[in-house]
């Protein structure tokens, strides 16, 4: 029997609708992979569901003045339906508010306690006195210590994707009252991640570790994507720290212990366990054994996610699975980067997004068009961009002009000359076409198994291009007059090729593949590299158009719906309000000096950081500065800067930073050095 493959796609928060960034990041690649594996007759469990816990839900409910339950019921249903309408082929779309999930998560937590995998700790946490509530995660906001941008949350900065602790935030504020929170004592269960550093390092770098229970869960580290490995390595280099696995919140899976009222499981403990409970629910519905997909040594586990979830799936969840015991670890976590839209980041709050449920309404019957474009531009190796212009171009000049045109020409010619009746059994006499088909299968296999879906789709499109060239070369519209047998043989070669083209299209464009098979009067689905079969005398169905041109007017309508951040026309970006007063004494504690940058180099694995060596007169020191996106290293060397020299040293990406370079940020978000005139000596104090 084939190996069980558990394919998970990140559980979307049920606090808003899905947009194309979600699709390109996790769901479309996961769906292509799941469909591909099913075509190979693999035993697939394709798992997803709504994440209905966490502060993201309660905050939205508070904002809209309704209950969290109303929020999750609305968006769970909206998103479940949008996925279904878009043809994402989940085996189950579950939800974490389900009682089966609650029981599963609680049992998992108790097992961790039994294994002594968690530590109870008392700590001081931020508390909003006005609202009389502890401030977990998204209830607290401030400036990100890593990228210096405002609006980072207590658990994560969405600007740079860094995972944070509330204590790291600069100038923390409560999102409830807007006031500066106080510290209060509370107790929580912590995951001592630092105790797992060693085996994680071993596992990530070699694919296994010493006390590994299941040698079969070995992975090939070389098959992991470099963006994923890069983030993991950087976390491990910084040194893992204990992380609280419970929260003071009134929404979530209750901590199943006496005297734990008001405490719930941390959403990132509860959500990945959601993959397991969803598998259980699916197994119950279908009479399968869920354990086969999670606990049997030959089970393969693959997580599809966006880059903001890498740490949770590559470090925290594996620690939880191993601490619990009996589970396989992920074989791969092929995370994608982010998709931008029309030159800007997708913004759900500003409504600068293409919403899936709206696309499906505006473009009925055109889901393959969106799948095609999103797969073609998927942010597999770096951030990428969706524009409506590019969407139109790809549909019109690739789907219509290459793929649709080929299928249409062959079908129409065959119907015109031979009334759609084949004289021989399905076969191909052209060695050239046979080789092209074989090449497509080979390349597709290599690309898809390495999670390179863009290239995989290109291999299929290349077959369509070769088909068009072949047809033009054979010229059946000429030979039909001089040598009709030849024309018939050539067109039947092409029909055989179209069947294989349909086969290759199945994981990517399932509707299109089905239409091709229907025209050829073949079964609705063909297994991978199936022998294409029809008897002599087989009659084709009538021709249907696969794609139609997208008009400019449609694109203009779509662009008008977007709400990009104000840029060139009518820009009225405002200056930040003045901060609260401080005493002169507060200020005089800052030791700011004139300094000269002696050298500058990028910091490995951090796009935003430069490592600077600076002469501050009294010594020479290293400073890590978040300016790499604004300045090339060579442009910085030799500059006079102002440096806060008595800022507490801190480690950034494994480099000790001793001080902070002062910068001025203008209304466009550009940074400028705050610099004294040339000639002021290094070490001069700025007062």
Which range touches Zn ion (CB under 5 A), out of 18-26, 157-165, 491-499, 576-584? 157-165
For residue 136, the minimal CB distance to Zn ion (Å) is 19
CB neighbours of 407 closer than 8 A, spacing ≥ 6?
498, 501, 516, 519, 546
Q: Does 147 bind Zn ion (CB under 5 A)?
A: yes
For residue 15, the minimal CB distance to Zn ion (Å) is 21
Q: Does 624 bind Zn ion (CB under 5 A)?
A: no
The residue with tokens 């279904």 is 84
Residue 560 Cα to chain centre, angstroms? 27
Query: Residue count at the site for Zn ion (CB under 5 A)?
Result: 7
Which range touches Zn ion (CB under 5 A), out of 61-69, 156-164, 415-423, 604-612? 156-164
Q: Which helix (H) or strand (E) holds 597?
A: strand 592-603
Report CA dihedral (604, 605, 609, 615) to the nearest 10 degrees: -20
Q: Does 345 bind Zn ion (CB under 5 A)?
A: no
Nearer to Zn ion, 160 or 463 (CB): 160
Q: Does 628 bind Zn ion (CB under 5 A)?
A: no
Nearer to Zn ion, 33 or 153 (CB): 153
Q: Does 146 bind Zn ion (CB under 5 A)?
A: yes
**C-alpha span between 171 and 192 (Å, rounded):** 27
For residue 149, the minimal CB distance to Zn ion (Å) is 5
For residue 141, the minimal CB distance to Zn ion (Å) is 12
Q: Does 653 bind Zn ion (CB under 5 A)?
A: no
Nearer to Zn ion, 13 or 153 (CB): 153
Q: Return the sign of the alpha-carbon dihedral for residues 367, 371, 373, 374.
A: positive
Q: Alpha helices, DSSP H only, in 259-366?
A: 267-286, 310-311, 317-324, 356-362
Residue 491 Cα to chain centre, angstroms? 43
Nearer to Zn ion, 88 or 160 (CB): 160
Phi, psi of 655 (to 5 degrees): -110, 135
Of 7, 160, 255, 335, the one binding Zn ion (CB under 5 A) is 160
Nearer to Zn ion, 146 or 447 (CB): 146
Q: Does 144 bind Zn ion (CB under 5 A)?
A: yes
Burial class (CB in 10 A: 0-12, 13-18, 19+), 276: buried
Of 23, 157, 609, 642, the one binding Zn ion (CB under 5 A) is 157
Which range touches Zn ion (CB under 5 A), out of 76-84, 147-155, 567-575, 606-614? 147-155
Side-chain half-sphere exposure of 111, counting CA atoms within 13 A: 15
Which range touches Zn ion (CB under 5 A), out of 25-33, 154-162, 326-334, 444-452? 154-162
For residue 426, the minimal CB distance to Zn ion (Å) is 57
For residue 137, the minimal CB distance to Zn ion (Å) is 15
Q: Return the sign of the alpha-carbon dihedral for residues 577, 580, 581, 586.
A: negative
Nearer to Zn ion, 133 or 227 (CB): 227
**C-alpha span between 683 and 676 (Å, rounded):** 12
- Helix, coil or strand: residue 537: coil
Q: Does 159 bind Zn ion (CB under 5 A)?
A: yes
For residue 626, the minimal CB distance to Zn ion (Å) is 8
Q: Annotate 167-204 with b (16+ C-beta within 10 A) or e (fewer).
A: ebbeebbbbbeeeebeeeebbbbbbbbeebeebbbebb
SS (H, E, C) 208-249: CCCCCCCHHHCCCHHHCCHHHHHHHHHHHHHCCCCEECEEEC
Nearer to Zn ion, 147 or 612 (CB): 147
Asked whether 66 and 73 are in contact (CB, 8 A), the reply is no
Nearest-10 crossing angle of helices 28-39, 367-376: 100
Nearer to Zn ion, 121 or 241 (CB): 241
Nearer to Zn ion, 155 or 380 (CB): 155
Nearer to Zn ion, 58 or 156 (CB): 156
Which range touches Zn ion (CB under 5 A), out of 31-39, 145-153, 169-177, 250-258? 145-153
- DSSP letter (8 states) at residue 576: P
Q: Does 311 bind Zn ion (CB under 5 A)?
A: no
Give contact residues for Zn ion (rule: CB under 5 A).
144, 146-147, 157, 159-160, 162
């Amino acid at each position: 029997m084939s190996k069980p493959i558990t394919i998970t796609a990140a559980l979307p928060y049920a606090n808003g609708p899905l947009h194309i960034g979600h699709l390109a990041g996790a769901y479309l690649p996961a769906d292509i992979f799941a469909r591909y594996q099913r075509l190979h007759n693999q035993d697939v469990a394709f798992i997803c569901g709504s994440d209905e816990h966490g502060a993201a839900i309660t905050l939205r409910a508070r904002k809209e003045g309704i209950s969290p339950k109303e929020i999750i019921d609305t968006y769970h249903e909206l998103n479940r339906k949008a996925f279904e309408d878009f043809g994402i082929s989940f085996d189950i779309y579950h939800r974490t508010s389900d009682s089966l999930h609650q029981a599963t998560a609680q049992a998992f937590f108790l097992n961790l306690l039994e294994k002594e995998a968690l530590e109870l700790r008392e700590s001081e946490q931020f508390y909003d006195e006005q609202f009389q509530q502890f401030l977990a995660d998204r209830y607290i906001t401030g400036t990100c210590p890593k990228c210096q941008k405002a609006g980072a949350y207590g658990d994560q900065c969405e600007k740079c994707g860094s995972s944070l602790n509330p204590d790291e935030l600069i100038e923390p504020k409560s999102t409830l009252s807007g006031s500066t929170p106080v510290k209060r004592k509370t107790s929580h269960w912590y995951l001592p991640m630092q105790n797992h550093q060693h085996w994680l390092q071993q596992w990530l770098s070699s694919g296994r570790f010493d006390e590994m229970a299941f040698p079969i869960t070995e992975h090939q580290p070389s098959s992991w994507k470099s963006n994923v490995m890069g983030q993991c390595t950087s976390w491990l280099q910084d040194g893992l720290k204990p992380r609280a696995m419970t929260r003071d919140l009134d929404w979530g899976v209750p901590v199943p212990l006496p005297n734990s009222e008001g405490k719930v499981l941390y959403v990132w403990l509860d959500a990945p366990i959601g993959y397991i409970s969803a598998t259980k629910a699916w197994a119950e519905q279908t009479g399968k054994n869920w354990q086969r997909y999670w606990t049997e040594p030959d089970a393969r586990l693959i997580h599809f996610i966006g880059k903001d979830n890498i740490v949770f799936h590559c470090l925290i969840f594996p620690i939880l699975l191993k601490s619990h015991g009996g589970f396989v670890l992920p074989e791969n976590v092929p995370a994608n980067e982010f998709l931008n839209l029309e030159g800007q980041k997708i913004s759900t709050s500003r409504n600068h997004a293409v919403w899936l449920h709206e696309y499906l309404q505006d473009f009925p019957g055109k889901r393959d068009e969106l799948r095609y474009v999103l797969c073609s531009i998927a942010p597999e190796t770096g951030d990428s961009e969706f524009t409506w212009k590019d969407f139109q171009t790809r549909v019109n000049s690739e789907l219509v002009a290459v793929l649709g045109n080929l299928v249409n020409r062959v079908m129409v010619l065959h119907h015109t000359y031979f009334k759609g009746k084949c004289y021989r059994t399905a076969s191909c006499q052209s060695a050239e076409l046979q080789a092209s088909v074989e090449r497509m299968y080979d390349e597709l296999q290599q690309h898809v198994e390495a999670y390179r879906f863009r290239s995989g789709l290109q291999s299929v499109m290349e077959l369509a291009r070769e088909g068009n060239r072949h047809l033009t070369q054979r010229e059946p519209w000429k030979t039909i007059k001089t040598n009709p047998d030849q024309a018939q043989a050539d067109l039947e070669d092409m029909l055989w090729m179209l069947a294989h083209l349909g086969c290759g299209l199945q994981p990517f464009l399932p509707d299109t593949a089905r239409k091709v098979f229907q025209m050829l009067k073949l079964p609705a689905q063909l297994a991978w590299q199936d022998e294409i079969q029809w008897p002599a005398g087989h009659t084709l169905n009538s021709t249907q158009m696969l794609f139609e041109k997208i008009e400019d007017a449609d694109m203009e309508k779509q662009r008008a719906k977007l709400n990009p951040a104000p840029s060139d026309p009518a820009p009225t970006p405002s200056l930040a309000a003045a901060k609260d007063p401080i005493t002169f004494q507060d200020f005089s504690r800052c030791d700011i000096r004139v300094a000269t940058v002696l050298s500058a180099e990028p910091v490995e694995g951090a796009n935003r950081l430069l490592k600077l060596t600076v002469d501050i007169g009294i010594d020479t020191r290293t400073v890590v500065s978040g300016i790499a996106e604004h300045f090339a290293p060579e442009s910085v060397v030799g500059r006079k800067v102002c440096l806060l020299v008595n800022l507490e040293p801190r480690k950034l990406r494994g480099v000790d930073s001793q001080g902070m370079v002062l910068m001025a940020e203008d209304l466009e978000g550009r940074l400028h050095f705050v610099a004294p005139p040339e000639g002021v000596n290094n070490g001069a104090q700025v007062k």
